[in-house]
Structure 1
Amino acid sequence: MLRLAAFAILFCGTFDAASVPCNPPDMLLGKFCAAVKDNDVNDDGRVDGTDMGTDLLNYNFDDDPCIVEEWEVVSRWTCRYGYSKEYGAFMYKQFDVNQNGRVTAGDFVTLNFTNADFLMAQYTRFKNAYCGDPKNRQSPVDKIQCDEVDKLKTADIKCT
């Protein structure tokens, strides 16, 4: 964890997340695969707490790398992945694993998925937990993306 903290300090001193252009994947499967790529930071085939803690640096739009605010998650999920603002707010609540009202790297310390399981979690969460609630199908972006996820089959969920 100390190495992660040192990396965060060095990285944040030279990285401006707000300067990253928005260029999200067009299709949902591309969004799911981008999340896997972004979150397997060390490219070892697993997404774990250290990877997630490092990826949180990409959410630092206010020069506070220790706490991620809701607007930062919404900004990242709309810009990087092309989801709705509503889904970004939904994800903020998911990120606050310990439910203390703050998102930090500590929320992810016990996370440990294979990339295939992490990919499937992206699909399942969006399809069931988010689009499964009719109130989450109201924004124009959500209408399109929830219709798209309804057409996907589990066998379709793979990155090439």
Structure 2
Amino acid sequence: MPSLYDFEAKTIQDQVFRFADFKGQPFLIVNTARKCGFAGQLNELEVLHQSYKNQGLMIIAFPCNQFGSQEPGSNEEIAQQCEMSFHTTFQMMSKIDVNGATAHPLYQWLTNEAPGLLGSEAIKWNFTKFLVDKSGKVVERFSSMHAPDKLRTPIEKLL
């Protein structure tokens, strides 16, 4: 049975990111979009990152343009604006699809492991969050409406 540690992805700087290199660490994985009404969650994710990075939490953001075309532009433009406007220092990945035939394999696995409302595997909108434990298993899925600050208790249980 696969775990998070079986996957790789490209960073926003086009480097290979092997999740296996971070075995034993919990992850919060989020699909993001700068032009979304929930974009303020990028700031909230950074607060979580600063609060828990020294305890091992890895926050991984995957920009995605599948919802209302709210993540336009190149990886370089996304990285620059996230750093300048949202002051992000957590790991940003290359822009991907999270739904459909072109969905990144990691997201195919995440949505299968933690279906959403009424068992739907599809990601409904930007800022859907997946919490993964230290063994690489998905613990819980959170909707866009679930503010990052409300994840402190479940995160602390994993640390």
TM band (smaller chain)? 0.3 to 0.5
Larger-gyration structure (1/2) = 1
TM-score by length of 1: 0.32
Structure with greater helix share of residues: 1
Larger strand share, 1 or 2: 2
